[in-house]
Amino acid sequence: MAQAAAAGHATIFEDWGSDVTTFKGVPWGKAMMWIFLLSDTFIFSCFLISYMTVRITAAEPWPNASEVFSLTMFGAPVPLLLIAIMTFDLITSSGTMALAVNYGYRRDKKKAIRFICATAFFGAVFVGMQAFEWTKLISEGVKPWGNEWGAEQFGACFFMITGFHGMHVSAGVIYLLIVAWRLHKGVYDKTNYEIVEIVGLYWHFVDLVWVFIFAFFYLW
Amino acid sequence: MAVAIFLLILVVGSVIFTFVSPWWFTDIASNWGGIDTTVLITFWVCGVVFVAVGLFMAYSTWKFRHREGARADYEPENPRLELGLTIVTAIGVVAMLAPGLLVWDDYVNPPADAQEIEVLSQQWRWSFRFPGEDGVLGTVHVKNIRSDNPFGMNPNDPAGEDDVLVAGNRVQLPVNRPYKVLLRSNDVLHDFFVPEFRAKMDAVPGMITYFWFEPTKEGDYEILCAELCGKGHYTMRGFVDIVGQEDFDAWLAAQPTWAQMKAGVTPKAYSALARRGREVAEANGCFACHSLDGSQVVGPTWQGLWGAETALADGSSITVDESYVLESVRAPAAKLVEGFAPVMIAYDAEIISDDDLAALAAFLREDTELAEASTP
Amino acid sequence: MAQAEIPYQEAMPLHHPHSWVTKYWFSQDHKVIAVQYGITAMAVGLIALLASLLMRTQIGFPGAIEWITPDRYYQAVTMHGMIMVIYLLTAFLLGSFGNYLIPLMLGARDMVFPFVNMISYHVYLLSVVILLASFFVPGGPTGAGWTLYPPQAILTGTPGADWGIITMLLSLAVFIVAFTMGGLNYITTILQARTRGMTLMRMPLSVWGIFAATVLGLLAFPALFVSAVMMILDQVIGTSFFMPAIASSFEPSASEYSGGSPLLFQHLFWFFGHPEVYIVALPAFGVVSDLISVHARKNIFGYRMMVWAIVWIGVLSFVVWAHHMYVAGMHPYFGFFFATTTLIIAVPTAIKVYNWTLTLWRANIRFTVPMLFAIAFVITFVVGGLTGLFLGNVIVDVPLSDTYFVVAHFHMVMGVSPILVIFGGIYHWYPKITGRMLNDTVGKLHFWITAVGTYVIYFPMHYLGFVGVPRRYYHNEPLGESAFYPASAELLNQGISIAAFIVGAAQLLFVYNLFVSYWRGRPAGDNPWEACSLEWRTPQTPPIHGNWSDTLPTVHRWAYDYSVPGEKEDFIPQDVPHRA
């Protein structure tokens, strides 16, 4: 058993170390996207860890998230309603993205383009809702340099991290649309349509990051 | 050949330099002999490795230099040799690390009987606070800091009333008593470092850091700021005078407590313009460097300044009047007072308007005049 | 052996230049981009060199030049450090050596995404322009020290605390974007675009070093990026990430800050900053291994250990960062952990040193200029590495941190050492880049002045640190009878300054050599050093765009088959098959 495991390790190293490619059958673009996402993970990790540190060491009490992020519906405050919708929207976009990748590999260009556009649409809606949320919070008095609920780092972290994520989503929407357009023009017809998977990797990553932001910001 | 000689000279020269040069640790004046010991252990382990590697290279570059017809050996690896070297290195590392960690454990755990004192640092000077008779340091907050409360004492905390406040870069401590030094900063990072004590620690705004030591030798030791804290960093010096217990007691008794300081602040009869001038000075932080009590800190004191004959750095001298005050605010380096560093920033009209500046000059004039009037 | 299909790179489409602009300015050829990186880095490095000479003037001869005020002194300190570490060393070792060597050593046509590679250089150029712009903004460049510690960096008591620091941080953020684009290319090329037979364990150590350093960069620069974003926000719109409540004498408005943590910045900065040391050191390790092996006519000793040492140093470099913060006021118990990890990292590093020296054993050493630089590197690195053990051993760091001991240590280990490798590498590969040799006599003169001079500059500085002379002091005039700056130290500082002037001037020899040899140098031929690795096996010298002929070379052996017994030649290139 142990011997078999050892042999298994040896084979893995041999495969990785063999000539030409380390990851067999992985196109360059896809490998590069994975590496980029690894680097981007560190950026978001640094942001989130900084946020946690700042929150722990803040001199004043941290504002109650469900109070600040509540939406008044029919006269009663409903905590986290908007965020729930935004999260649902983004998870839906991950679903459409997965379908686009699926149709891409089946070489069903039309459906792939359609689902990429749907993904971009959900992304744009997300950014729109975020803009609404920002406007609402700013008008209620949450500023990067202070707020009336407690520690001023609350606003600073919130705007910085969601803003940085929102930029990722916006860039993703543009990226998706460019890919859809070029797909439509037939630029990728000689390839396996792996570009759809590559943009899909980016998109799923952005969604995944949102889950962490959601958990650490709104639920903590 | 030249390379081998170069390496040989380098190794031998470095060893000779170490023993012959006059530059080595200052004589220790605290309990931290353990630090010196660990430095020496590290020094010897590293020194032996340096000499060994250097001589090996010198020999190899001499012995195996290119010759006609010569050929190198072919030896891809030698696992036993590599393993052996790894183990020897690991032993050397442990030999340095283990005693180091033991002393560090001592360094970060002050003894229970250590007296607390506070060192307050700000750009670019040192102040000190003793807990007074109750042995407790009163609470402080940076938001309380004003020119009549430079330590930011909490006015409502009775524990702070008997705290002894020492401004002016110089402090005395009795020999052979352990002290836990609490470090506080008003503005930026500083670092309290006395080479003879070996100990040091950063002062970080927003938190209190500490280290402990026990002075073992009487004498005057210079405090250096060892963390870059702005352009006046190098002027941020002070002194710790280690003295006998009796001298210390006498010195401490002569220092003002917070209660005395509060009681001693008697407002002078300034005009409205001069009062505004004082506010201007407070708002712009002038008192951080210019005292009103005659102590020379970063900049010249303002006590008795008006009308005084002042020597300048270029050798000339000047009488302090309105035009000199105006110039010294707008272009401080133009006529620098002798003995002071050119570290003051220029305040242009956007920061201190001409009107405010006139008020400031009025304050300076009246401060000197009122002081002269009150002394017979 | 049947030739395997290489799906992409054999027929990789190349964007051939059509005009002067696309050939020399917006070129997609990795070799042109490498030279662009190199020239830019060297030019900006000369500015940093000038800054250091200003500093040395002030330290050795205080007040000799009145123009050097405390403001300008601290600005020179800061710009010297930042430019040298980021814009010269990182950019040169990865941008220039990385770009030039990776495709050639691996037998690839180019980087996998030549267009991204081209953009990478131009974004780097933009970051340099922003950096240089900071010399002309109101208040001048920042004088916060290259560590840029807040709160000091953004408060008025520091020169350049408004415009200077903003341009600095902006430039760093742009640099990180450039580095990321380049780095993604390097890693993807190394992992996915090697030629037939080029297994990972046949790669020259230069490529291994660059590979590991690039991975470190992609994972460490994010921390710097994040801290730069947060500090810009603190400075520009008044957030309080790094700013606690303070009472600044010089900036009363700073009292609006509250609750931030200066230590957070230091953790982020050093989470980047320590791997950064290895981002500079690992490519230098790799390159110097190759130089020693080629010019000693002997295989590098313990290749597999060397690879694993690189990998382990890379991994460990992420868990040692707080050894820069022993006396920064963090929780004291961190000291135990970080001292231990730091001293563990000494083991793989020591193995590398042993293997370099053991490569010299029973070798057949040709003392060419690149070899001279390689040997000087090893001894310099030994000094710098050993003094690192002082500073890594937490309690020993207490009296020595923030003194000249630290200055001496990091200049030895990550200033002089990698610079010596860069010089060695340039002397080594210049014939491949231009087709001509650099002048040997000028090169040797340059070497001796640089090697002896830098040792004379930095070795005695350690002892100033023992005395307790703090770093970053505009001048050291003692206030009283204190012993921290004896009169003899003043004399020593003068000597060091004079040595620095001589070494600084000697670099002009190098620049002269680079220029004159380009036209007048002796023609080099394809393989002047008789080296084994693939870059010397291109059909043309200098290599054409696309590097190889229609088929890529096939690799049959490692890059170190020197002096193989029973062979006629004392080197067998990588693409020569084994005898049947």
Q: Provide the pLDDT for residue C1.
A: 37
Dihedrals phi, psi of B116, to nearest 5 degrees:
-90, 135
Instruction: Map residue B115 onto helix, strand or coil.
Output: strand
Band of pLDDT at residue B92, cut at 50, 70 and 90: very high
**How far does CA A192 lie from the centroid of its chain?**
25
The single residue listed with the structure tokens 């000047």 is B318
Task: Give the separation between CA C480 and CA B224, rounded to whole angstroms.
Answer: 12
A86–chain C nearest CA distance, Å? 25
End-to-end CA distance of chain B: 84
Task: Give the separation between CA B31 and CA B114, rounded to whole angstroms.
Answer: 13
* More confidently predicted of A203 and B73: A203
Instruction: Map residue B226 onto helix, strand or coil.
Output: coil
Dihedrals phi, psi of B47, to nearest 5 degrees:
-60, -40
Dihedrals phi, psi of C53, to nearest 5 degrees:
-70, -35
Give the range with max mean pLDDT: B139-148, B301-310, C28-37, C468-477: C28-37
Task: Give the separation between CA A53 and CA C268, rounded to whole angstroms.
Answer: 11
Q: B167-187: b or e for each residue (b if 16 or more CB lie within 10 Å)?
A: bbbbbbbbbeebbbbbbbbbb
Structural domains for chain A: 2-219 (1.20.120.80)
Task: Give the separation between CA C244 and CA A59, rounded to whole angstroms.
Answer: 9
**CA dihedral sign of residues B325, B331, B332, B338:** negative
Task: Give the separation between CA B148 and CA B208, rounded to whole angstroms.
Answer: 23
Contact C405, C461 (CB under 8 A): yes
Give CA torsion, residues A169, A175, A176, A179, to 10 deg: -170
Chains touching C (at least 3 CB pairs under 8 A) are: A, B
The single residue listed with the structure tokens 């005898």 is C579
The single residue listed with the structure tokens 């630029």 is A187
pLDDT at B158 over 60: yes
In angstroms, the Cα distances linking C305 to B110, B305, C226, C281 are 44, 72, 35, 17
Q: Is the ipTM here above 0.95? A: no
What are the extents of the domains in chain B? Answer: 2-64+79-108, 115-262, 267-374
- Residue-by-residue DSSP string for B254-321: TSPBHHHHHHH-------HHHHHHHHHHHHTTGGGT--SSS--SSS---TT-TT-EEEBTTS-EEE--
pLDDT digits (tens, 9 = 90+) for A129-175: 999 999 988 988 888 888 888 888 999 999 999 999 999 999 999 99
Instruction: Map residue B172 onto helix, strand or coil.
Output: strand
Closest among C471, C385, C368 to C425, alpha carbons compared: C368
Strands B317-319 and B309-311: antiparallel
Task: Give the separation between CA C81 and CA B321, rounded to whole angstroms.
Answer: 44
**CA dihedral sign of residues B16, B18, B23, B29:** negative
Stretch (H or E) spanning A61: none
Task: Give the separation between CA B330 and CA B310, rounded to whole angstroms.
Answer: 18
Query: Is it true that the peptide bond before C151 is cis, omega within 30 degrees of 0?
Result: yes
Radius of gyration of chain B measured on its C-alpha atoms: 29
Contact C105, C204 (CB under 8 A): yes
The single residue listed with the structure tokens 């380390």 is A22
pLDDT digits (tens, 9 = 90+) for B333-375: 888 888 787 778 778 777 788 888 888 888 888 888 877 776 6
Closest among B326, B341, B316, B318 to B237, alpha carbons compared: B341
With an 8 Å Cβ cutoff, is A151 touching chain C?
Answer: yes
Q: Return the number of CB contacts < 8 Å for B and C.
A: 363
C549–chain B nearest CA distance, Å? 32
A28/C8 CB distance under 8 A: yes
C222/A40 CB distance under 8 A: yes
- Supply C82's token pair: 């930042």
Q: Which CATH number fits domain B267-374: 2.140.10.10, 3.50.50.60, 3.40.50.1360, 1.10.760.10?
A: 1.10.760.10
Phi/psi-derived region of residue B103, left when phi > 0, alpha when psi is between -120 and 50, beta in every other case: alpha
Task: Give the separation between CA B102 and CA B122, rounded to whole angstroms.
Answer: 33
Task: Give the separation between CA C180 and CA A41, rounded to whole angstroms.
Answer: 13
Contact C283, C98 (CB under 8 A): yes
Instruction: Map residue C571 onto helix, strand or coil.
Output: strand
Q: Which CATH number fits domain B115-262: 3.90.180.10, 3.30.428.10, 2.60.40.420, 2.60.40.790?
A: 2.60.40.420
Using CA coordinates, name the residue in chain A closest to C262.
Answer: A54
Q: Provide the pLDDT for residue B268.
A: 66
C35–chain B nearest CA distance, Å? 31
CB-facing half-sphere around the CA of B61: CA atoms within 13 A = 27
Q: Which residue in A27, A39, A57 is closest to C222 by CB distance?
A: A39
Helices (H), ranges, C261-368: 262-296, 303-316, 334-344, 346-360
- Residues of chain B neighbouring C490 (CB-CB closer than 8 A): none
Q: Which residue in B72, B191, B204 is closest to C298 by CB distance?
A: B72
Helices (H), ranges, C143-204: 163-192
Dihedrals phi, psi of B115, to nearest 5 degrees:
-75, 140
Q: For residue C566, give the amino acid letter.
A: G
With an 8 Å Cβ cutoff, is A192 touching chain C?
Answer: no
B61/C468 CB distance under 8 A: no
- Residues of chain A neighbouring C229 (CB-CB closer than 8 A): 160, 164
Q: Provide the pLDDT for residue B267.
A: 57
Give CA torsion, residues C553, C555, C560, C564, to 10 deg: -110
Beta-ladder partners of B121:
B126, B185
pLDDT digits (tens, 9 = 90+) for A10-69: 777 777 777 778 888 888 999 999 999 999 999 999 999 999 999 998 888 888 877 777
pLDDT at A3 over 60: no
Using CA coordinates, name the residue in chain C closest to B104.
Answer: C395
Closest among C290, C245, C274 to C97, alpha carbons compared: C290
Q: Return the number of CB contacts < 8 Å for A and C.
A: 134
C264/A47 CB distance under 8 A: no
Q: Provide the pLDDT for residue C571.
A: 92
Q: For residue C159, give the amino acid letter.
A: P
Beta-ladder partners of B242:
B173, B219
Work out the number of other CB atoms within 10 angstroms of the CB of residue C415.
Answer: 24
Q: Which residue in A17, A43, A151 is closest to C222 by CB distance?
A: A43
C364/B72 CB distance under 8 A: yes
The single residue listed with the structure tokens 């007072």 is B337
With an 8 Å Cβ cutoff, is A23 touching chain C?
Answer: yes
Q: What is the mean pLDDT of chain B?
A: 88
Q: For residue B373, give the amino acid letter.
A: A
Could you tell me the pTM of the whole model? 0.91
**How far does CA C179 lie from the centroid of its chain?**
13
C468/B17 CB distance under 8 A: no
pLDDT digits (tens, 9 = 90+) for B213-255: 999 999 999 999 999 999 889 988 889 999 999 999 999 998 8
With an 8 Å Cβ cutoff, is A62 touching chain C?
Answer: no
- Residues of chain A neighbouring C258 (CB-CB closer than 8 A): 59-60, 152
Residue C39's contacts (CB-CB under 8 Å, 6 or more residues apart) are: none
- pLDDT tens track of chain C, all 580 residues? 345 566 566 777 777 777 878 888 889 999 999 999 999 999 999 999 999 999 999 999 988 898 999 999 999 999 999 999 999 999 999 999 999 999 999 999 999 999 999 999 999 999 999 999 999 999 999 999 999 999 999 998 899 998 999 999 999 999 999 999 999 999 999 999 899 899 999 999 999 999 999 999 999 999 999 999 999 999 999 899 999 998 877 777 777 888 899 999 999 999 999 999 999 999 999 999 999 999 999 999 999 999 999 999 999 999 999 999 999 999 999 999 999 999 999 999 999 999 999 999 999 999 999 999 999 999 999 999 999 999 999 999 999 999 999 999 999 999 999 999 999 999 999 999 999 999 999 999 999 999 999 999 999 999 999 999 999 999 887 665 556 788 888 899 999 999 999 999 999 999 999 999 999 999 998 999 999 999 999 999 899 988 888 888 999 999 999 999 888 888 999 999 988 7
Angle between helix axes C30-60 and C417-434 (nearest 10 degrees) is 140
Contact A156, A144 (CB under 8 A): yes
Residue A22's contacts (CB-CB under 8 Å, 6 or more residues apart) are: A16, C191, C192, C200
Phi/psi-derived region of residue C435, left when phi > 0, alpha when psi is between -120 and 50, beta in every other case: left
Band of pLDDT at residue A1, cut at 50, 70 and 90: very low
Task: Give the separation between CA A118 and CA C229, rounded to whole angstroms.
Answer: 33
